Amino acid sequence: MSRIVIQKFGGTSVENADAMQRAIEIVKRHGIKRGIRPLVVLSACAGVTNLLIRIGELSLLGKIDQAHKSISDLDHRHFGILHDLHLSLRSEQEASLHLRYIWRELRTLVRGVELLGELTPKMKDKLLSAGERASTAIFSQALREDLSEKDITVYPYDAREFFLTDSDFGLARPQVGEITKQMKLIGKKLAAGGVGVTQGFIGANKRGETTTIGRGGSDFSATIMGVALSAKEIQIWTDVAGIYTCDPRIVPQAYAQPLISFQDASTMAFFGAKVLHPETIDPAVQAGIPVRVLSSKDPERKGTTILTQPPDGVIVAGIAIKRNIVLAKAVSNEMVPQSTTLSVIFDSLQDKKVIPLASSIAFDDVLFAMEPHEKYSELHQQIDRIATLQFFPKRAMLTIVGQGLLNNPGIAARLFSSIRHCNCEMISYGGASNAINIVIPDDEVENAAKSIHKEFF
């Protein structure tokens, strides 16, 4: 039985001193238990990664003064947080030293970009790493000071020393085998009663060069670390209390599902529910580690626990919504259906690297739902010789998700009767047995989502 939990805090959960203080309380109440110790994984403070990207762009444009001004803004913001935490002089000095080092390095990088007139992906990753390094520099001191009363040691770990990735800067893939080896020592320190703090999102390749794993990657980092340490559970602390039955901005009655299966959670995410990225969940699924999505603003709420198997009795897990998608329709030019038409259409999709969200096929006529993407008009080149291709923008896709869909009769009847006033332009079921997709005009999405929600929840 593992004694380690991963506690990942997103950008808004560490955005200021209050948020950091809440996170510390959460570490104490939901991470540290008898015989259980957390590894805390942090994002950059909210908005910082975007500002760092901007700093890179400004330097590339030669707007160096503005770039330096933005670094000063970062400096003020982080020192403001540090100050508001009211730490002891010693802790404050240690964190300041660390922060100053990070800003110095940033300023050097900015000069480098200016001189070279280029911002390579490698330089950009180094630049972006400042955000997570700065948030952890502050947080680890604050946590250290707080836990010293309980005689618990806090170990700050630089993710670049153990989170090994390939060299695909900007979208580097973690090397789970290597990471597992490198994290053995961390596991030992936690088993001996310590608490770890480290960065999500960043890592290093085997030459020790800083890498990042893609925007929003901290959840993925946390999952990989959980797998490497065979954690008991992975807690994702964010600003929403779990995976909702529907987007609460569209359907105010939506609520957080207490339990959901991995498969339904990733299907929800794939079809538009924004809480977790599906690839985030995958390594934990494989390892059978439960992932909990919790709200740092409301930590006593149960949130959602994502399980390997579907919970008993839940037929429909939720309704995912994707707005402003494009519907593409290819109608064969031949009177008699041709077996070659489909292959031409699918080949051209492959050629343009387009993966449809869902599709519906009748004979050799095809309807696809797709993300709006500039390449789509290029599909004309290949498809036009065999079929007439038309695009319909401003559509929305509603997806009813649930592993219970397959074996429970009557769901489709309830679904369609709940939206009988809606003009349904595409229906797709079966490709994913836990998802029924319907495409409707985007301006009908609110009414439709509310009606479906009322029917099922």
**Closest distance to ligand ASP from the beta carbon of 16 (Å):** 16
Quick one: 131 or 242, whose CB is closer to ligand ASP?
A: 131
Q: Residues with Cβ < 8 Å from 76, sequence gap 6 or more?
A: none
Q: How far is the CB of 8 from ligand ASP (least distance, A)?
A: 9
Q: Distance between alpha carbon 343 and the CA centroid of its chain, in Å?
A: 34
Q: Which is nearer to ligand ASP, 200 or 299 (CB)?
A: 200
Contact, 96 vs 142, CB < 8 A?
no
Of 38 and 217, nearer to ligand ASP (C-beta) is 217
Shortest distance in whole angstroms from residue 413 CB to ligand ASP = 41
Q: Rounded distance, CA 70 to CA 77, Å?
A: 10
Q: Which does 295 bind (CB under 5 to 8 A by kind): Mg ion, ligand ASP, none?
A: none
Show contacts with ligand ASP in window 19-38 (CB under 6 A): none
**Residues that bind Mg ion in the complex, under the rule CB under 5 A:** 10, 216
User: Nearest approach, Cβ of 84 to Mg ion (angstroms)?
Assistant: 22
Contact partner, 131, from ligand ASP, Mg ion, none, Cβ < 5-8 Å per class: ligand ASP
Residue 44 interacting entry, from Mg ion, ligand ASP, none, C-beta within 5 to 8 Å by type: ligand ASP
Q: Give the separation between CA 369 and CA 392, rounded to whole angstroms.
A: 9
Cβ 129 to ligand ASP shortest distance, Å: 10
Residue 216 or 311: the one with the smaller Cβ distance to Mg ion is: 216
Tell me: does residue 310 bind ligand ASP (CB under 6 A).
no
Dist. CA 385–CA 217, nearest whole Å = 42
Residue 43 interacting with ligand ASP (CB under 6 A): yes
Q: How far is the CB of 170 from ligand ASP (least distance, A)?
A: 11
Query: Considering only residues 5, 44, 222, 386, which one is a binding residue for ligand ASP as defined by CB under 6 A?
Result: 44
Shortest Cβ distance from residue 44 to Mg ion (Å)? 9
Question: Is 246 in contact with 319 (CB distance < 8 Å)?
Answer: yes
Closer by beta carbon to ligand ASP, 38 or else 200: 200
Q: How many residues does the chain have?
A: 457
Query: For the range 440-447, what are the long-range contacts, defined as Cβ-Cβ under 8 Å and sequence gap of 24 or more?
Result: 440/395, 440/396, 440/398, 441/394, 441/395, 441/396, 442/323, 442/324, 442/394, 442/395, 442/396, 443/394, 444/396, 445/250, 445/321, 445/323, 445/396, 445/398, 446/250, 447/421, 447/422
- Choose, by CB under 6 A, the member of 31, 56, 131, 187 that binds ligand ASP: 131
Cβ at position 13, least distance to Mg ion in Å? 9
Instruction: Give me the least distance between CB of 62 and ligand ASP, in Å please.
Output: 26
Contact at 8 Å (CB) between 19 and 296? Answer: yes
173 binds, among Mg ion, ligand ASP, none (CB under 5 to 8 A by kind): none
Alpha-carbon distances of 393 from 39, 215, 240, rounded to whole Å? 45, 27, 30
By CB under 6 A, the residues from 215 to 244 that bind ligand ASP are 215-218
Answer yes or no whether residue 258 interacts with ligand ASP by CB under 6 A: no
Residue closer to ligand ASP by CB (options 45, 342) is 45
* CB nearer Mg ion, residue 41 or residue 113: 41
Stretch that binds ligand ASP, among 90-98, 137-145, 212-220, 383-391 (CB under 6 A): 212-220
Partner from ligand ASP, Mg ion, none contacting 318, C-beta within 5 to 8 A by type:
none
- What pairs with residue 291 in β-bridges? 234, 306
CB of 274 to Mg ion, least distance (A): 10
CA dihedral of 139, 163, 241, 78, whole degrees rounded to 10: 30
Q: Is 49 in the site for ligand ASP (CB under 6 A)?
A: yes
Using rule CB under 6 A, residue 201 touches ligand ASP: yes
What is the C-alpha to C-alpha distance for residues 319 and 244, in angstroms, rounded to an integer? 8
Rounded CA-CA distance 376/369 in Å is 11
Taking CB under 6 A as the criterion, which residues in 94-123 touch ligand ASP? none
Measured from the CB atom, the residue of 218 and 359 that comes closer to ligand ASP is 218
Residue 76 beta carbon to ligand ASP: minimum distance, rounded to whole angstroms: 19
Size of the residue set binding ligand ASP (CB under 6 A): 12
Which residues lie near ligand ASP (CB under 6 A)?
10-11, 43-44, 49, 131, 200-201, 215-218
